[in-house]
Amino acid sequence: MIALKEKIQNPFNDFLDWVNEEEIEVEAIIEAIKSILDIIEKKRKLIDNKESLEKDIAKLQEGKSTIKSLLNFKSKKEDLIERENEKSKVSFSSFIF
């Protein structure tokens, strides 16, 4: 009687294990996609920042603006960049389990 009980397995336990493994895989895929989207967003921000700096350099070379005005503007930009970095740190820490 005991030997027969050991040979028979409950198929629902196998199904439950399979479902749990699939859930873990789906969560990993979602996390990977979020990471990719985050990288794309950071790349876009860096490209925008680069374009902005190139425009500032072009204005300086054309004489339309002075270094002093750019320095004052840069400090405001740096404040915005620091705020964005702090926000990204907070949002990144919320994804860590």
Total tally of structural domains belonging to the chain: 1
Task: Specify whether the CB–CB gap between 38 and 84 falls below 8 A.
Answer: no
What does pTM read for this prediction? 0.53
Residue 24 lies in a domain: yes
Condensed to tens digits (0 to 9), the pLDDT of residues 2-15 reads 677 777 788 888 89
Residue 1 lies in a domain: no
Q: What pLDDT does 97 receive?
A: 45
Residue 56 lies in a domain: yes
Residue 62 lies in a domain: yes
Q: What pLDDT does 53 receive?
A: 84
Residue 23 lies in a domain: yes
Nearest residue to 95 (alpha-carbon basis) of 44, 30, 41, 22: 30
Dihedral (CA of 81, 82, 83, 86) sign: positive
Condensed to tens digits (0 to 9), the pLDDT of residues 26-52 reads 999 999 999 999 999 999 999 998 998
Boundaries of domain holding 90: 11-95
